[in-house]
Amino acid sequence: MKPELLAPAGDIEAAYAAFYYGADAIYLGLKKFSARSSATNFDENQLDEITAYAHHLNKKVYVTINTILQQSELDDLLKTLDICSKYKVDAVILQDLGVAHLIKTQYKELEMHASTQMAVHNYQGALYLKQLGFTRVVLARELSLAEINQISSIDGLETEVFIHGALCYSYSGICQFSALEFGKSANRGKCLYPCRSVFENHSQSGRFFSMKDLALENEVLNLKATSLKIEGRKKSALYVASVTNYYRHILDGNKPDKSQAENIKQIFSRPWCRFHLNGKDKTIIDPHFASHRGLPIGKIENIKNGAFLITPSHNIAKFDGLQIEVKGLDKPFGFSVQQIKLNGKNIVEGQKDNLLEIKLPEKYPYLQKGMDVFLASSSQVKGAYPYSKPKPHAFGNKSPIDVYVEIKKNELIAHFQNFSFQKQGLFEAAQNVSKVYDSFLTAFQKTGETAFYLNCLTLHNPDNLFVPLSVINELRRGLYNQIELPQKHGHISELPEPLVNTSKKFIIKSDDYNLLRKIDLKPFAEMIYLIDENTEISNLLNFEQDKLRLALPTICRKPDKLLPKIKNLLENGFLKWEVSNYWALQILDSKKCDIVFGPFLYMLNTESILMAIEMGASRINLSIEDTFQNLKELTSLSPIQTSLIVYQDTPLFTSAVCLRSNDCAHCNHLPQWMTFTKCKEQYQALSKNCQTMLFKNKPLYLSHEAQAINPSFYQIDFCYKSYTPEQAQNIISKVMSFEDIPFSYSANISNSAI
C-alpha cells in the first residue's frame, strides 16, 4: 500500500493546487492556534468548502491546533473544535494536552494526531501516545531511517514523516529561544527564528545554527511510514504544486525528475540535505544565508561596463530573478534581469551553455569573478503549474434532511422531525398528478445557504390535488426557516477543588552529584537529580530517599542504554520521578511511581492539568514561557501541586546537530563548551553525547513576580553548567529571600503578548 502524500495548505489556493498535483491529504491551520500563525490560514467558510471538496475526491483534511494554549483561550478552543467537528475534518494535529483532554472527553468523533511539537523521537514515546488515544504520531525530523521504520512497525499506530521543506535547528517543541529572548513563543506559533541569525564565534562569524532545507527525494521509497509530509504552510500555491508534483511522480514509481527539482529550487529553496536520515551529517548547516537562494546556474566569469559574463547551465530570460552570493551581505544580492546580450546583441532569452552578458542594476555591491549565481525566479516556471478548482461555494458540508409533505383540500403541511410549517389555501384537482411531485421536489431541493440539503421528499396527496409553484415555495421557505440542526457545543471541564498553598517551599535540581553532596540540603522539601546512563546508583544511596526525585532526560535517542539503569533504580526503591517527554511515561508505572511532569510537557491551562492527572501526574511544572497573569490563575485553580522554576540556566534549544569540527568516529563525546555572540549578547553552547544545547551566559531568575504567583514549590535548578558549592549556596540564599541577583534575566513572564 502506497504511503499518503501529505501537502501543506497555508491558504485555499495552495489546497486546490495540492490536490490537483496528487496530494492524498492536506494539513491546514485556522485563524487561531496554528503553529504557522503568520500563514494566511482558513476561515470557517473556507474550511467547509475545502473539506467537502476533499471528501468528494476521497481525500483528507487535517487541521493543526498545534500550539500551547492559555486559560483565557479555552472558550475559543471550544469554538474551534466545534468547527472541526461540524465540517468533519479527518483529524486534529495537536501539541497541547488540554486539546487532547477535550477531544477525548467531548469530541470523540475527532481523531488525534500527535504534532511534531510533541517531540516524539523514540519507540517508547510513540507507543505511549498510541495507548493515550492518538491514532498517528508526527515523528521528530531528527530521526534516522532505522528509527523511523522501527516506530512505524507499531501495530495500530500511523506514523507521519517530514520529507521536504525547512528544518529547525532544535527538536520541535523544546525550543524556547524566541520565547525567552523576544516574548514570541514558537510553541504558540510566533517564532522569530533567532537561530538563523549571524553569530560570532571567536574570530569567525556565520549562521552557525541555520539549517539547509530537507529534501529526501527518492529516499522516500525506503520509508515505512504511513504518511509522507511536505513542510510549507507559509509557502505559495506555486511552491506547493511543484513539490507535490515532484514527490507524486517519485511515489508513482518514476525516477526523480531533474527539471522538476530545478523548478522547485527556482520557486523557493535553501540548499538541500537529507538531515540525519542515513546517519549523522555535519554538512547540514547553511552558514552564509538564511533565505531563498535559488537554482545554482554558474559563476561570474568576468565583470565589465556594469555587466557580468556567465555561461549558465540553465536558460535565462528577461525579467527572471537572479541572486549572487556576496559574503558580508545579510542575504544574497538579487535583481530582475533587464538586459541580456549574446555576442553583443540584445536577446529576450539566453540559452544555457552560451556565454551571456547580463546587465547589472545601477547600484550593485562589489562583485568579482568566481561568485556563485542563482536563478531565483523564472517567468517560465511561474506558468508551469496551472491547476483547476471548483467554482466558489460549489462544495460544502451540508447535512441531509428528509421532508414529508401532506396536501389537503384546504391546507398544506411540511414536516421535518419536530419542525413543521402549515399553509392555508383551497386546492383543486390536478390535471397531471406526476408533475405535482416534480414541482415539490424541484422547489424543496433549493436549500440555498442553509446547513442542509434535501435527501428525500415524501408527498402525501391522496386527493391528487394541484398546488401553485408560488405556494410551494412559500411552504419550503417557511419550513426551512424553522430548521436548526443540532450543533456541537463543548464546555470547559469542571475542576476538583483547588489546592491552597499556605507556605513557600523550595526544590533543588541538579545533574552534579558532588555539588548536591557539598551544599546544605536541609532547607529543601525535595531534591531532583537528573540521571543518564552513566549515573552511579551507589551515589544516590547517600541522599535521603524520601526527599530524592530522579529526573529523566527530555531526549533519549538510545533508550536501550538507559532502560537497564531505570529498572535497577526501580528495583532499589526509587519511585519518585520527573519526566519531560512521553517516552518516560511508557517506562514508568504511574500506579506505582510518584510522577511529576517537567517543563516540556507544557501546562498552560486547566484542561492540560486534568489530562496530566489522568496520565498519573502528582505535580506539574509550570512553564517559564507563560505570562504572569496566566501563571497566577493556574496556581489558584490547580487541583494538584505545582512547581515554578525561579532560577535556571535555561536551554534555549536542544539539537541533534553537532557543532564540533572533528570526525564523529573519533569523538570522545565529553562535554565541550563554545562561546557565541549575537548583537553583543553572549551565549554558551554545550556539546555532549551528540547533542547541542544553547544557553545565555546569564541565568534566568524570576524573583518579584514569582512571589505573587504562589505555586506549591519554587524550584532552583543547577543543571548543565558548573557551580562551586560556595556559588550555589550564595544563589540559594538570595533566591529563598527573593533578593535580586545581578547579571540575570527574567525572560518575558510579564509579557502578555507571548
- Rounded-to-integer distance, Cα 739 and Cα 623, Å: 22
Q: Decide the pairing of beta strands 112-114 and 307-310.
A: unpaired
DSSP-assigned letter for residue 718: E
Instruction: Check whether 328 has a pLDDT greater than 70.
Output: yes
Q: Are 195 and 142 in contact (CB under 8 A)?
A: no
Q: Residue 703's pLDDT is what?
A: 82
Q: Helix, strand or coil for residue 539?
A: helix
pLDDT in tens, 587-596: 999 999 999 9
The predicted model gives 32-44 an average pLDDT of 81
The predicted model gives 210-222 an average pLDDT of 97
Find the length of the chain: 754
Which of 60-64, 486-490, 666-670 is the least confident region?
A: 666-670
- Rounded-to-integer distance, Cα 158 and Cα 136, Å: 4
What are the chain's domains? Answer: 4-167+211-265 (3.20.20.70), 295-382 (2.40.30.10), 399-482 (no CATH), 505-650+699-736 (3.20.20.70)
Torsion angles phi and psi, residue 408, rounded to 5: -115, 170
Q: Helix, strand or coil for residue 346?
A: strand
The predicted model gives 184-193 an average pLDDT of 93
Which of 55-64, 309-318, 498-507 is the least confident region?
A: 498-507
Q: Residue 749's pLDDT is what?
A: 66
pLDDT in tens, 675-719: 999 988 999 999 998 899 999 999 999 987 888 899 999 999 999
Instruction: Check whether 670 has a pLDDT greater than 90.
Output: no
Residues with Cβ within 8 Å of 418's Cβ and at least 6 positions away in sequence, in order, are none
Q: Residue 752's pLDDT is what?
A: 52
Q: Residue 754's pLDDT is what?
A: 57
Residues with Cβ within 8 Å of 704's Cβ and at least 6 positions away in sequence, in order, are 738
Closest CA to 600 of 139, 64, 29, 170: 170
C-alpha cell at 238: 506555486
What predicted TM-score, i.e. pTM, was given to this entire model? Answer: 0.92
What percent of the chain clears pLDDT 90, i.e. is strictly above it? 87
Give rounded-to-5 percent helix, strand, coil for the chain.
Answer: 30, 25, 45
- Rounded-to-integer distance, Cα 265 and Cα 259, Å: 10
Q: Decide the pairing of beta strands 505-510 and 526-530.
A: parallel
The predicted model gives 35-48 an average pLDDT of 84
The predicted model gives 365-387 an average pLDDT of 96
- Rounded-to-integer distance, Cα 608 and Cα 605, Å: 6
Instruction: Check whether 373 has a pLDDT greater than 70.
Output: yes
The predicted model gives 416-425 an average pLDDT of 95
- Rounded-to-integer distance, Cα 334 and Cα 193, Å: 22
pLDDT in tens, 269-295: 999 999 999 998 989 999 988 989 999
Residues with Cβ within 8 Å of 74's Cβ and at least 6 positions away in sequence, in order, are 98, 492, 605, 606, 607
The predicted model gives 314-327 an average pLDDT of 95
Closest CA to 393 of 53, 9, 87, 42: 53
Element (H, E) at 104: helix 97-106
408560488: which residue's cell? 470
pLDDT band at 750 (very low <50, low <70, confident <90, very high): low
Instruction: Check whether 124 has a pLDDT greater than 90.
Output: yes
